Amino acid sequence: MSEVQIYRNQWAMVTGASAGLGAEFSRQLADKGANLVLVARREDRLRTLAEELTAKGVKTHIIIADLAKPEAPDAIWHDLQAASIKPDILINNAGFGLAGGFNKSDWPAHRDFIELMVTSYVHLAHKLFGDMMARGYGRIINVASVAGLVPAGPGHTLYGASKAFLISFSESLNAEGRNKNVHCCAVCPGFTLSEFHDVNGTRDAINKLPSFMMMEAPPVIAGGLRAMEKGKAVYVPGLVYKTITALAGMLPRNLMQSLSAKQLQKARKV
């Protein structure tokens, strides 16, 4: 193991660990010595990843959970208690995109989306934050998106709203934890290679974007972990997306909204 073992003997819990950014978070945290609680619905994927991480010399614990179900965070909490695991690090990452215009999805689909993308993040943080504050150590990442920092376009209607919520939530939690060595960071990637766009059926459109707009997971995650360690509340990976989000903060919102709507039309279903 060549990485500095700054999380040696700590436990990190990663939701959505069976693919994409969550699997990469798990690998990089294991390289830094952390034991991993891996959470997702696909057990076979989690078992394969757990074997890979165990070979790096860390412990793993698997929890199969559908985080769109309101009872899932409580069930995860009971599982952790039964295994005597108190996570020092929480990576709230599980997610997907609900493609199409607002009324193309029925209410149960929107309700499940909000449950997974907003409520499960807040509920899991609520379960662990008190312990972290009492202990005087804790690290939380909420995986948000550039979509939460720029005006929203048509389609995928609740996606930007859910990510904007997580950014504001992370800022507040980070401010509350600052004096107790409890950091909370909203990591806000732009388009990043993972299974995300296969799952939501937008891969063909995404493949037409200029290549400079597509990032790879390893630098996104490495930057996110560094930002969390430094106590940053919000982190945007990559120069391209840093520039876009800086412009979004400077240009009039109406102008930014029409620019963003035009760009997103290429990548989103309405």
Ligand X SMILES: NC(=O)c1ccc[n+]([C@@H]2O[C@H](COP(=O)([O-])OP(=O)(O)OC[C@H]3O[C@@H](n4cnc5c(N)ncnc54)[C@H](OP(=O)(O)O)[C@@H]3O)[C@@H](O)[C@H]2O)c1
**Under the rule (CB under 6 A), what is the footprint of ligand X?**
16-22, 40-42, 45, 65-68, 93-96, 116, 143, 145, 189, 191-192, 194-196, 199
- Catalytic status, residue 159: yes
- Shortest gap between Cβ of 67 and ligand X (angstroms)? 4
Q: Give the span between the Cα atoms of 211 and 218, in whole angstroms.
A: 17
- Residue identified by tokens 């520039």 is 243
Distance CA(38)–CA(173), nearest Å, equals: 23
Helices (H) and strands (E) in the chain, counts: 11, 7
Work out how close the CB of 157 gets to ligand X at its nearest, in angstroms, rounded to a whole number.
Answer: 14
Least distance from ligand X to the Cβ atom of residue 86, Å:
21
**With respect to ligand X, which residue has the nearer C-beta, 132 or 143?**
143
Residue with tokens 């899991």: 124
Give the E-state strand segments of the chain in sequence order: 11-15, 35-40, 60-64, 89-92, 138-143, 182-187, 234-235
C-alpha distance across the termini of the chain, in Å: 46
Residue nearest to ligand X as judged by C-beta position: 20
User: Could you tell me if 226 and 234 are in contact, meaning their C-beta atoms sit under 8 angstroms apart?
Assistant: no
SS3 at position 175: helix
Find the shortest distance in angstroms from Cβ 135 to ligand X.
Answer: 27
Nearer to ligand X, 45 or 127 (CB): 45
Of the pair 93, 174, the CB lying nearest ligand X is at 93
CA distance 136 to 92: 20
Q: Please identify, using beta-carbon distances, which residue of 133 and 213 lies nearer to ligand X.
A: 213
Q: Which of 7, 121, 137, 159 is catalytic?
A: 159
Please list the active-site residues.
159
